[in-house]
Amino acid sequence: MSVVLFIDDDLKHAAQLVAHLETEGFAVHIENETSRGVAEALSGHYAIVILDVVTPRSNGFETLRRIRSQSALPVLMLAAHASVVDRITGLELGADDYVTKPCAPRELVARIRAILRRAQPVELRTRSANVLVSGHLTLWPEQRRAEWRGESLPLTSTEFRLLEMLLRHGGRPVSKGELSQYALGRPHSPNDRSIDVHLSSMRRKLRTYAEGRSLIRAEHGRGYRLLEQ
């Protein structure tokens, strides 16, 4: 059973969604105070965090920043009538996905399950199999582990999936549609900038390891490709 941490100081709103999650087989713990919520998120007891962006007593972006500074735990953000800027801010800070509320409980469950599928390592069968290498970059998809010259790369689960997809294409361009389907578990829509934001965050991380060089190139009308190192 996947255990979900719900951080929201609107307990009435949270309780409605929690009731549906529990009928779908999730165990849910609610925290309505930011510091306790962050401590719980870092405890190692949860599979995913659902985090409200702005509540009367806290700022969800700051809560996300505190979690991301110490953990790659999947985070799904909720926001009422979120602007494009808010969605981009959340994704840039490391959120795995974003849902605007009020949301259909079935959509929330579907998004959670998609994130958990992406974050769940495949059971190891052959340790030497399925290692992806490109120059100084090495990925172990089954272990969800990435390294640059032997140093661990701090990637979110979505960023890892994107990098894995680019690596598997061996330098050939990958369309946004393919990347969205593989990394987010849904088709790409013209107004959805989630893939661009996740790739932008990943580029910044890789640039710090690659002496400032950009390793991912956008090609107009074709998508993105991983450059040779």
pLDDT class for 125, splitting at 50, 70, 90? very low
pLDDT tens for 161-217 read 999 999 998 889 999 999 999 988 888 888 888 899 899 988 888 888 888 888 899
Residue with tokens 């779908």: 24
pLDDT score for 214: 84
Rounded CA gap, 141 and 145, in Å?
A: 7
pLDDT score for 128: 43
Closest CA to 145 of 128, 126, 129, 132: 132
pLDDT score for 85: 76
Is 2.60.40.740 the CATH number for 132-226?
no
Question: Span 11-34, mean pLDDT?
Answer: 87
Predicted confidence (pLDDT) at residue 126 exceeds the cutoff of 50:
no
pLDDT score for 4: 95
The residue type found at 64 is: L
pLDDT class for 82, splitting at 50, 70, 90? low
Every domain of the chain with CATH number 1.10.10.10 lies at 132-226
Do 77 and 108 contact (CB within 8 A), yes or no? no
The torsion of the CA quartet 42, 44, 46, 51, rounded to 10 degrees, works out to: 10
Rounded CA gap, 200 and 125, in Å?
A: 33
Do 155 and 205 contact (CB within 8 A), yes or no? yes
CATH assignment, 3-119: 3.40.50.2300
The neighbour count for residue 119, using CB atoms within 10 Å, is 19
pLDDT score for 17: 87
Predicted confidence (pLDDT) at residue 229 exceeds the cutoff of 80:
no
Closest CA to 167 of 229, 92, 94: 229
pLDDT score for 174: 93
pLDDT score for 109: 92
pLDDT tens for 141-165 read 888 889 998 888 988 888 999 999 9
Do 82 and 53 contact (CB within 8 A), yes or no? yes
Phi/psi for 75 (5° steps) reads -130, 125
pLDDT tens for 31-78 read 988 889 999 999 989 999 999 886 556 688 889 999 988 888 899 998
Rounded CA gap, 139 and 206, in Å?
A: 13
Every domain of the chain with CATH number 3.40.50.2300 lies at 3-119
Q: Are strands 137-140 and 132-134 parallel, antiparallel or unpaired?
A: antiparallel
Rounded CA gap, 142 and 123, in Å?
A: 7
Element at 205 (helix H, strand E): helix 194-209
Predicted confidence (pLDDT) at residue 105 exceeds the cutoff of 60:
yes
